[in-house]
């Protein structure tokens, strides 16, 4: 029987209270699907993710790893091999956010540009580069990259973020073609998602009003929950998606296709 082992980067729960996060929800869902999960993050709340998985009866291990460091990635992969027997699913979810990213190309410092791309794109490249040989050795599997519609529908003065996300979709396509049929690679692209790390100390009432305001821009009339992203990843990682390769699924209630003009 083929093993089911997943490595998920950016898989810590919310960094203050252990609240919802995209990577955490993905790791928890994959564990429910029968995967043994290597939970990777630099944040200590990765241990909260493992705690939840084990509480639900799953198997997981926490690994502190920085995706800009080859040594850290190889350590995480060696743990997947030694503890769980290999790897059959890689989920690249880690992302870098900083105040310095909120600028156009002219105003974005070279340091900010390089640091952001080193995580948001370089981290995906490195994890794929070193994980794919292990996935092939394990009999094949899937790679799933988490991106954002902001790569094709950009926000003013948010240049490097948009560039990094657009590049992830291109990376997805090259991996899908280069490593099929042994490995399927797809991209999941959620827009705004309710996560703890975006709350920034807002009160319960402030959060409720904030989410209502954001929801007005989405055809479904509400904001996305982390589980809704995890459900799509779960599908793509399963045999139910056995002929889906090189695709990007936008989890944004149709906003990418919506023209908000009134006539």
Enzyme catalytic residues: 161
Closest CA to 226 of 2, 7, 13, 3: 13
CA distance 18 to 12: 8
CA distance 246 to 174: 8
CA distance 28 to 145: 17
| String of DSSP letters for the chain | ----EEEEES----TTT----HHHHHHHHHHHTT-EEEEEESSTTHHHHHHHHHHTT--EEEEE--TT-HHHHHHHHHHHHHHHSS-SEEEE------GGGSS-TTTS-HHHHHHHHHHHTHHHHHHHHHHHHHHHHTT-EEEEEE--GGGTSPPTT-HHHHHHHHHHHHHHHHHHHHHTTTEEEEEEEE-SEE-GGGTTT--HHHHHHHHHHHHTTSTTSSPEEHHHHHHHHHHHHSGGGTT--S-EEEESTTGGG------
């Amino acid at each position: 029987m083929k093993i089911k082992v997943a490595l998920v980067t950016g898989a810590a729960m919310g960094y203050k209270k252990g609240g919802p996060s995209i990577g955490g929800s993905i790791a928890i869902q994959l564990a429910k699907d029968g995967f043994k999960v290597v939970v990777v993050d630099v944040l200590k709340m990765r241990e909260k993710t493992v705690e939840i998985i084990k509480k639900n009866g799953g198997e997981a291990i926490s690994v502190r790893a920085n995706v800009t460091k080859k040594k850290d990635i190889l350590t995480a992969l060696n743990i997947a091999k030694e503890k769980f027997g290999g790897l059959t699913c890689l989920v690249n979810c880690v992302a870098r956010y900083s105040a310095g990213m909120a600028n156009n190309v002219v105003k974005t410092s070279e340091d900010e540009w390089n640091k952001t791309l080193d995580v948001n794109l370089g981290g995906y490249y490195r994890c794929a580069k070193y994980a794919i040989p292990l996935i092939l050795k394990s009999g094949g599997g899937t790679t799933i990259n988490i991106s954002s519609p902001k790569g094709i529908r950009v926000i003013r003065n948010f240049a490097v973020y948009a560039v990094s996300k657009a590049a992830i979709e291109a990376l997805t396509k090259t991996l899908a073609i280069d490593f099929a049929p042994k490995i399927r690679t797809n991209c999941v692209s959620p827009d705004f998602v309710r996560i703890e790390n975006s709350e920034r100390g807002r009160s319960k009432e402030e959060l409720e009003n904030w989410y209502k305001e954001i929801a007005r821009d989405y055809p479904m009339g509400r904001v996305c929950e982390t589980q809704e992203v995890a459900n799509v990843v779960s599908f793509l990682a399963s045999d139910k998606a056995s002929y889906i390769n090189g695709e990007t699924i936008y989890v944004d209630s149709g906003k990418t296709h919506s023209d908000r003009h009134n006539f």
